[in-house]
A = this chain, B = another copy of it.
Amino acid sequence: MATKPYKGFSPDWYTDTAPEKSYRSVFKWGDPAAYKVPKENLYKLVKEIFGLSDDNFKQRKELGLEPVEYDIPVTLDDKHLKALEKIVGAKNIATDNYSRLTVAYGQTMYDLMRLRKKIVENVPNAVLYPETREQITDIVAYCNENIIPLYVYGGGSSVTRGTECMKGGISLDMRKNFNKVIEFNQKNQTITVQAGMMGPALEKILNEAPETLKGATERYSCGHFPQSFEYSSVGGWVVTRGAGQNSTYYGKIEDIVLSQEYATPIGYIKTDNTPRKATGPDVGHIMMGSEGTFGVLTHVTLRIFKYQPENRYRYSYMFKSWDDAMNACREVMQGEFGMPSVFRVSDQEETQLMMRMYGITDSPLDTLLKMKGFKDNEKCLLLGFTDGEKKFGKNIAKNIRKVCKKYGAMSLTGIVTKSWEHGRFTDPYLRDNLQDFGIMIDTLECSVNWDNMEQVHLDVRKFCKSRPNTIVTTHISHMYPQGGNLYFIFITPLEDLHEFKEYHSGILDAIQKSGAAISHHHGVGKLFAPWLEGYLGRTQYSIFKALKKHFDPNGIMNPGGTLGLDLEEKDKKFLREYK
């Protein structure tokens, strides 16, 4: 994606397609040929905040253009490779270095930094591309019998080291052959898909249902649009308990999933697909969030929704303070007039950054805002839109206006929302271009109740800002009557791996100490796992260990720290033990 030519000095942004089989082709976001160059005003801002000059942008660093090369031998016994090949067929197994690396890493900055530095760790011995459920159940049974670690790779956008093959073993890449629609049911308004189905493929099929799905007479939507939408799979959404940006209306993935099927070491299970029941503990909620440690998710039945983007009401409001903005959001969430779809509010620093990025700073609108008493570094931006039936949405938009006005907000109309929508899935591309010059962008998020929102925001920012020259922006998204998700983005010149880990870990410490849940939708994986037992408390956490022992007595499913299930005591953090 090109940007307008800079008036001043323009860094030599990398805009070529990542070379085939290069490190860059593995770590870069999304489409190998796509990129997103910062606009000039963002570039200026970055220099200004970090005290950098054009000189700092004359030399690109660690682009990872070299072909993947590393020396981690395949140690899995040949008889096992043969047996696995027999299950999936010769064309569906790979043991070359490049294939092995493509399924081992995700999209946390820790992954990107390692790959830029050509540090390759924890790759599988082989990658399998299963085609059928039967192949997957056979693989699980074989691995269980022969104690071979088993990993699963979906879209690859994990920011928790979720897919990393800590113990070698093998990995199932679900994208290639296990991505089809199994059943569409218009009467129940559901679709059943294989776990490797990618977001855009699913949404396209649903949008075009009358042409693509047997028996469909209407157009549908999946309702789940995480920022990683274009490079995430249905299976990944489910096992990590993901959330889409429209979740305030559609719900998190656990609200959208109707039933799931898993191949586990103890056998195949399919959870009930009725909308609600009273038949003991809910197995669906035991499997969602298991992150590959209990079994391999094969099929998911999802609730689907009418596709009616023409009904959308967009809005945006500027508040004079973070406090006003939070109070208004809470009042909207508790208003019982229906839920907006996208509903997010940026804190002071994020608002300031957005004003710059959207070119509002120093515009007539900026002048008007200042005249009306909306101060720099104090004002906060709320934006979003509705989904659902037209008048339902209109009534929500009206009520939002009423509440925002009560808290002194000024409407900026739907135009700001449109700007945001425009970049919502492409912003991750920016990361690569900035990191080419040593500036990293990463995020952490947590779930918070309204009565603790201000404190968590203060505490976590305080730690983040303890690092000099760091931009820390925050928004509340995915809101509920009882609270919401506080999402922190930190941008800073940082190239040292150890330094990154210390900083990242410090933020997680701050989140945990502040009393928030350590993840709202990113999941836990291997990166956040040391904090999990302290967060749940030892007795509650012991339930996970009991389930793990039951499903996977040989410890072959996603081993090496996932959910902390095989972590040693000394590697766990107990900063605040919950009761």
Could you tell me which A residues sit within 8 Å of B by CB distance? 185, 187-190, 240-243, 252, 254, 258, 264, 266-291, 303, 305-306, 308, 330, 334-338, 387-389, 391-392, 395, 398-399, 447-451, 478, 480-485, 516-524, 532, 535-540, 542-544, 546-547, 549-551, 563, 578-579
Within the oligomer, what is the number of copies of this chain?
2
Q: Is the CB of B266 within 8 A of A542?
A: yes
User: Is the Cβ of A281 less than 8 Å from the Cβ of B287?
Assistant: yes
Check if A481 sits within 8 Å of B303, measured CB to CB: yes
Determine whether the beta carbon of B188 is less than 8 Å from that of A389: no
Q: Which of B254, B272, B391 contacts A395 (CB 8 A)?
A: B391
Since A267-B539, A308-B336, A543-B547 are in contact, a sample of 4 more A-B pairs with Cβ atoms closer than 8 Å, ordered by chain A residue number, is A190-B482, A267-B538, A279-B536, A282-B285
Q: Are A524 and B278 in contact (CB under 8 A)?
A: yes
**Quick check: B335 and A389 within 8 Å, CB to CB?**
yes
Bound complex: CA of A579 vs CA of B269, how far in Å?
6
- Min CB distance A72 to B, Å, is 30
Q: Are B547 and A268 in contact (CB under 8 A)?
A: no
If A266-B539, A289-B280, A482-B189 touch, does A517 touch B337 (CB 8 Å cutoff)?
A: no
Q: A551: which B residues are within 8 A, CB to CB? A: 543
Known: A270-B579, A274-B448. A536 touches B283 (CB 8 A): yes
Q: List 14 A-B contacts (CB under 8 A).
A: A271-B540, A276-B447, A276-B480, A279-B518, A279-B524, A280-B544, A281-B289, A285-B286, A308-B336, A336-B392, A338-B388, A543-B547, A546-B546, A546-B549
A284–B387 alpha-carbon span in the complex (Å):
29
Taking a contact as CB atoms under 8 Å apart, the answer to whether A306 and B395 are in contact is no
Whether A482 pairs with B258 at a CB distance below 8 angstroms is: yes
Q: Which residues of B contact A243 (CB under 8 A)?
A: 276, 278
Nearest B residue to A545, CB-CB = B550
Contacts of A276 in B (CB 8 A): 243, 252, 254, 447, 478, 480, 485, 520-521
* B289 and A279 form a contact (CB under 8 A): yes
Q: Find A337's partner among B187, B278, B391, B546 (CB 8 Å cutoff).
A: B391
Cβ contacts under 8 Å, A337 to chain B: 388-389, 391-392
Q: Of B288, B388, B519, B563, which is within 8 A of A282 by CB?
A: B288
A271 CA to B535 CA in the complex, in Å? 10
CB A162 to nearest CB in B, in angstroms, measures 11
Complex Cα spacing A447 to B279, Å: 10
A361, chain B: closest CB distance, angstroms:
34
